[in-house]
Amino acid sequence: MQQSVWPELDELKQELERVCELPRTGDEPLLTTASLAVTQATTALTRTAQLRGREAEQARAAALSAVEKARLALSQARTAILAAENRRQQVQRRGGTPPTEDSDKPGLAGHVEATCTACGRPFVVRYRYAKADATTVFPVSCPEPACDGTANVEYPTTAFQVEASPR
């Protein structure tokens, strides 16, 4: 590997690479900030090389402060990414933390009351559906074991997991 005149810069770029290799870095704004800080430090160091004497000294001091900032930004990005990944894993271990009771199941919940045309017993048809668009009328079997009657029930065309139970 080529030896750089700026070991600080090499260090920064390596750290940036390592942070970018962490899982799911895409949604971390601090990483964008850190990348920008590394770019600024690079620019500052490059400028230093083109100057001489007193100006170079001042530029060098500014560049080192930019390197410091970039280092800090990278470390914050790394912490944030790891913390986010940690939270994700904890949620997964708990089997998900649904904000509402049904949110771990797909779609929306709906139900409709029906009456069996054969035995006359009322029952409830519960279903889940993707969206409330058109409805369809469909015969649903009576939940009463001894009855093989049906009731015509109207529910969304996107309904699934349709279940009838006695009321």
Interacting residue ranges for Zn ion, rule: CB under 5 A: 116, 118-119, 142, 144, 147, 149
Six-digit token pair at 9?
């810069």
Question: 3-class SS at 36?
Answer: helix
Question: Which residue's CB is nearer to Zn ion, number 16 or number 116?
Answer: 116
* Number of H-type helices and E-type strands within the chain: 3, 5
Least distance between Zn ion and beta carbon 118 (Å): 5
- Tally of CB atoms within 10 A around 44: 21
Question: 3-class SS at 15?
Answer: helix
Residue 77 backbone dihedrals phi, psi, to 5 degrees: -65, -45
Least distance between Zn ion and beta carbon 141 (Å): 8
Least distance between Zn ion and beta carbon 22 (Å): 59
Residue 156 near residue 109, CB atoms below 8 Å:
no
List Cβ neighbours of 49 (8 Å cut-off, separation of 6 or more): 5
Question: Which residue's CB is nearer to Zn ion, number 63 or number 116?
Answer: 116
Residue 85 near residue 23, CB atoms below 8 Å:
yes
Residue 64 backbone dihedrals phi, psi, to 5 degrees: -65, -35
Least distance between Zn ion and beta carbon 150 (Å): 8
Question: Which residue's CB is nearer to Zn ion, number 91 or number 118?
Answer: 118
Question: Which residue's CB is nearer to Zn ion, number 82 or number 118?
Answer: 118
Question: Which residue's CB is nearer to Zn ion, number 98 or number 120?
Answer: 120
Least distance between Zn ion and beta carbon 146 (Å): 8
